[in-house]
Chains A and B, each alone.
Chain A
Amino acid sequence: MTRSIGVIALNVFRESVRDKVLYNLVFFAIVLMGASYLIGQITAGQDVKLIKDLGLAATSIFGLFIAVFIGIGLVSKEVEKRSIYSLLAKPIERHHLVIGKYLGLVLTLAVNLAVMAAALYVVLAYMAWMAQPGVAAGWERPALDPAMLKAFLMTFCELAIVTAIAVFFSTFSTPILSAAFTFALFVAGRFSADLRNFNQVIESPLANGLTTALYWVLPNLSPFDVRAQVVHGQPVTASYMALSAGYAVLYIAALVAAAIAVFSRRDFK
């Protein structure tokens, strides 16, 4: 079981490399290098802070596009190309396919994030090396702040949830609809805190119950955004990260189980 899942995951990674997905890393590096030069000209000693903000935001946006646009086609593409028949004829179960596809895309995202993190640290190291001692003393946090890894880790957890959403929709919907649903859930997840506060301004018990239920069922993605805290040197504790990561693991497991339930009942005749 583990072997077949591993083989499928590795194939998804290879396929994404063949599809030139990793080219986005080149674009990311160019954006960072260009921005570091331009921002250095127009900011008053805050260029390192801006580069950190830009790098972390770009990591999240690039990762989001990879998670959505590859995730939505993972299962549906196999059905459209009819390659699902040859796949299912092999000694693999349907749930192996779903789990393997999901883990393959998560591996792709992990490699992407690791390279983007390394690129960001290289640019920041160059800026720290070039900076005047007086300017560097005014920085809120050091340029090569290891705390930024916490933001990368939380971004990875968030993107892993988005990938699970995309794979779930991919098991029963078309790629275009899956992309729309995934983006909609991503936006809802980012603003779900508003649903929680909704009961403070409405009196209808039905609407209150509905918004509260939605708040607990929809993915809560805003706690994974610790970028501002990290850049400003505010504490992000290990217990906060552990609770957030635990939430991500359980939510992903629920989505993958739901995807397996749907995919297992599909008739490909």
Chain B
Amino acid sequence: MPSRFRTFGLIVLVAVLMGGAASLQAVRETRFPPPQATEDALYFTSGKTVQRLAAGYSAIAADLYWVRAIQYYGGVKLRLQQTPPAASQALAKWHRWMCEVSRAAAGAPSRRSAA
């Protein structure tokens, strides 16, 4: 029968090795950050294709997609909340200017000239 001391030593060894693996993982993630998705698209354009891909598990696939969509929405909301007010004001100003330009290009009276 192996001694309890030996088992305890093995458990400590497992913990140390797992800690070492996690440390190496942290170093790797610092030096080589995981790539972020460049395209911000979270939708499917073909319901039929999704149904085939779900392989008969359409209900659970829909649930997973729903959870994923909530996470996406929450992530975007949190990101926008963290945006500095000055930056968001500048963005809003830029957006208004772009609307003016597009209206002018389309030949429609702008809000300023209408006023």
- A residues 214-244 near B (Cβ < 8 Å) are 216-217, 220, 222-223, 237, 239-240, 243-244
What residues on B are CB-neighbors of A193 within 8 Å? 34
B17 in the interface (beta carbon within 8 A): yes
What residues on A are CB-neighbors of B70 within 8 Å? 201
> Which positions in B face A, CB cutoff 8 Å?
2, 6-7, 10-11, 13-14, 17-18, 20-22, 24-25, 27-28, 31-32, 34, 70-71, 74-75, 78
Do B18 and A251 touch (CB < 8 A)?
Answer: yes
Do B21 and A247 touch (CB < 8 A)?
Answer: yes
What residues on B are CB-neighbors of A220 within 8 Å? 25
- Can you give 9 A-B contacts (C-beta < 8 A)? A216-B25, A217-B18, A223-B28, A243-B31, A250-B18, A251-B21, A257-B14, A264-B7, A265-B2
Which one of A216, A240, A261, A265 lies within 8 Å of B28 (CB-CB)? A240
Which one of B2, B32, B75 lies within 8 Å of A264 (CB-CB)? B2
Q: How extensive is the interface on chain A, given as a class?
A: 20 to 34
13 other A-B residue contacts (CB within 8 Å) besides A240-B32, A250-B17, A254-B14: A197-B75, A200-B78, A201-B74, A201-B75, A201-B78, A217-B22, A243-B28, A243-B31, A246-B24, A247-B21, A253-B17, A254-B17, A265-B7
* Smallest CB-CB A-B distances: 8 pairs: A254-B17, A250-B21, A261-B10, A201-B74, A243-B28, A251-B21, A216-B22, A247-B24
Chain A positions 241 through 269: 1 when the CB is less than 8 Å from some CB of chain B, otherwise 0: 00110110011011001101100110000
Question: What is the CA–CA distance of A154 and B7 in the complex, to the nearest angstrom?
Answer: 32
Question: What is the CA–CA distance of A257 and B74 in the complex, to the nearest angstrom?
Answer: 41
Q: How far is the CB of B62 from chain A (nearest CB, A)?
A: 18
Question: What is the CA–CA distance of A198 and B68 in the complex, to the nearest angstrom?
Answer: 11
Contact flag A243-B18 (CB < 8 Å), given A257-B13, A264-B6: no
Question: What is the CA–CA distance of A239 and B31 in the complex, to the nearest angstrom?
Answer: 9
Q: How far is the CB of B6 from chain A (nearest CB, A)?
A: 7
Q: How far is the CB of B70 from chain A (nearest CB, A)?
A: 8
Contact flag A254-B28 (CB < 8 Å), given A201-B71, A260-B10, A264-B6: no
Contact flag A247-B25 (CB < 8 Å), given A193-B34, A254-B14, A254-B18: yes
Question: What is the CA–CA distance of A106 and B11 in the complex, to the nearest angstrom?
Answer: 24
Q: How far is the CB of B45 from chain A (nearest CB, A)?
A: 23
